[in-house]
Amino acid sequence: MSPDRVIRALAAMALGALAAGAPALAQPVPAFDPVAVPEHVYTGGWEYFVGGGVAVFDCNGDLLPEVYAAGGAGPARLMRNATAAPGARLAFSEATPPELALTGVIGAYPLDIDSDGRMDLAILRLGENLLLQGKPGCRFAPFDASLGFRSDDRWTTAFSATWEAGQALPTLAFGNYVDRSDPKGPFRACDANMLYRPEGERYADPLPLTPGYCTLSALFSDWGRHGRADLRLSNDRHYYVDGGSEQLWAMEPTPRLYTEADGWKTYTLWGMGIASRDITGDGYADVFLSSMGDQKLQLFDPDAGGPSFRDATYGRGTTAQRPYTGGDGRPSTGWQIAFGDVQNDGLDDVFIAKGNVQQMPGLAMRDPNNLLVQQPDGRFVEMGEVAGLADMERGRGAAFDDLNLDGRPDIVVVNRAAPLRIWQNTTRETGNWLLIDLEQPAPNRRAVGAWIELRTPARTQVREITVGGGHAGGSATFQHFGIGPAEKAELRVIWPDGTASDWLAVGANRILKLARAGRGLRPGSP
């Protein structure tokens, strides 16, 4: 780290600590080092200006997650995690099987569709979307036709999945962008979104969710912890222009849009990505929305009696509306947005991949990625430059996951028309941590829709297990928790059917697979 970066880091940390009444330098300075990886570029014309997602998941059973990156007009690529051992220097090698070297890929999400213990892939494309079944050794194949999934030719840019009660298969939502066949387009030509609900062991014909407002991110989440995940869609105002808004679909037998009568507030922005995490500590998930200009942290109001979210105040430091370095003062463009605890202090931080759509003159061209580090008083301080993440390429999809299982989340960014980047988290003197994976009997072996509650003397952290959000890509990795100086913690799981486990005491700095065993949790080291 350069002397200037060190000085800025110390000043930012001291300011945050003093504002909270804590000793200066209570938090370590975040640091990330670039990792050499096989060259991969997300390319293509205007239909690939959006997308560029990345899926992060373990496909060969060694626990270290692989990286599958969209290629746009070029082939997508799987990079095998070749790190020598947990905690070692990150390393990746080319390992793309023919069935994944697809063109037209906008993004991908890992999930275990058939509950066989291997990760499958939902692949979003310009054209027909695909569901590929995971096989041993990072190989994949189309699901048998008996699954009933079919996709027509669309421009798909968002995805989410959940397990509805009593179903053997997950419910799938595909968010579509502009209808390219509309001769009046592209403006005011947003396509319908598609909902796939299972009927027994196969999928019924997709149900169009209309109106569509050019969706760029989708997330099933149980916003009120009432036992049902509803579908939130973040939509791009650039193409719906007027008359559109953000959407929340109530997943009733016949899905319906929430309205202001339900407590939902009409909200418009250039919606690019969704991230969800309990920031306030009230046990409910808040949301962070990436956009052009201001990024929007919205805090859930549990007393409103409905899905009511309010913008966090400007003083929390979360808007990240303009570049913090590079000399371009025009508004920023946010894409992937993700929570993670860089320093393991128990306070969630935020990474945002940034970059101009292409050559939009009203927006910054030199637009560095953000690392917003949460302070003890709940404010966020920009640390992207001092951490070494201020890349000026056009960022798109990204991942914020522990790639070498050392308890520190690393970063992957897919860039448009520039090489993919991976940074290893090398922050020193971080706090303690836990990596947790859940398992229950099929269906839904990975317990999508469960909640993990983890408590230490300092705080209780609450985490919902979801599939979706981000921008065109997602992760299926261990749930990472920073726990600061605590050497042990207690945790319980509220399973998707609402059953709460007993509390389990665990030691710090461990990788745990927790299996459902009645009201108990059966821990094991995977």
List the single range of 4-18, 201-215, 238-252, 466-480 with lowest mean pLDDT.
Answer: 4-18
**What DSSP string runs through 174-223?**
EEE-B-TT-TT-STT-BPPEEEE-EETTEEPPPEEESS---EEEEEEE-T
Nearest Cα residue to 157 out of 449, 460, 467, 470: 470
pTM of the model: 0.94
Contact between 42 and 69 under an 8 Å Cβ cutoff? The reply is yes
- Nearest-angstrom CA–CA distance, 101 and 176: 22
Tokens at 255, concatenated: 């899905």
Q: Three-state SS for 79? A: strand
**What are the tens digits of pLDDT across the range 482-503?**
999 999 999 999 999 999 999 9
**What DSSP string runs through 248-282?**
EEE-SSS-EE--GGGTPPP---B--EEEEE--SSS
**What are the tens digits of pLDDT across the range 291-342?**
999 999 999 999 998 999 999 999 999 999 999 999 999 999 999 999 999 9
Contact between 348 and 480 under an 8 Å Cβ cutoff? The reply is no
Other Cβ atoms closer than 10 A to 7: 11
Q: What is the mean pLDDT of the chain?
A: 94
User: Stretch 79-94: mean pLDDT, rounded?
Assistant: 96
List the single range of 10-14, 285-289, 365-369, 398-402 with lowest mean pLDDT.
Answer: 10-14
DSSP conformational letter for 167: -
Q: Is the pLDDT of residue 25 over 70?
A: no
Contact between 51 and 157 under an 8 Å Cβ cutoff? The reply is yes
**What are the tens digits of pLDDT across the range 252-268?**
999 999 999 999 999 99
Counting residues of the chain whose pLDDT is more than 90, the rounded percentage is 93
**What are the tens digits of pLDDT across the range 236-249?**
999 999 999 999 99
Question: At a CB cut-off of 8 Å and minimum separation 6, what does 184 contact?
Answer: none
CB-based burial, 336-350: b 16+ in 10 Å, e otherwise: bbbbbbbbbbbbbbb
Contact between 409 and 56 under an 8 Å Cβ cutoff? The reply is no
- Nearest-angstrom CA–CA distance, 102 and 80: 17
What type of residue is 267? Y
Beta strands in 358-487 (DSSP E): 370-374, 380-382, 394-401, 410-416, 421-425, 432-439, 451-455, 460-464, 467-468, 475-476, 479-484
* Residue the block writes with tokens 């037209």: 104
What is the pLDDT at residue 114?
A: 97
What is the pLDDT at residue 26?
A: 62
CA atoms within 13 Å, Cβ hemisphere of 330: 15
Q: Is the pLDDT of residue 420 over 70?
A: yes
**Pairing relationship of beta strands 334-340 and 349-354 according to DSSP bridges:** antiparallel
Contact between 128 and 165 under an 8 Å Cβ cutoff? The reply is no
Phi, psi of 29 (to 5 degrees): -75, 125
Counting residues of the chain whose pLDDT is more than 70, the rounded percentage is 95
Q: Is the pLDDT of residue 14 over 80?
A: no
CA distances from 437 to 476, 510, 511 (A): 10, 11, 8
pLDDT bracket for residue 22 (50, 70, 90)? very low
**What are the tens digits of pLDDT across the range 26-50?**
689 999 999 999 999 999 999 999 9
- Nearest-angstrom CA–CA distance, 121 and 67: 12
Contact between 56 and 454 under an 8 Å Cβ cutoff? The reply is no
Give the Cα-Cα-Cα angle 390, 36, 100 (nearest 5 degrees).
100
What is the pLDDT at residue 60?
A: 96
Residue 1 or residue 412, greater confidence: 412
Q: Three-state SS for 386? A: helix
What is the pLDDT at residue 524?
A: 76
List the single range of 103-107, 209-213, 312-316 with lowest mean pLDDT.
Answer: 312-316
Q: Is the pLDDT of residue 1 over 50?
A: no
What is the pLDDT at residue 23?
A: 33
CA distances from 252 to 144, 184, 249, 258, 429 (A): 29, 33, 9, 11, 48
Q: Is the pLDDT of residue 272 over 70?
A: yes
Give the Cα-Cα-Cα angle 430, 432, 434 (nearest 5 degrees).
125
What is the pLDDT at residue 20?
A: 35
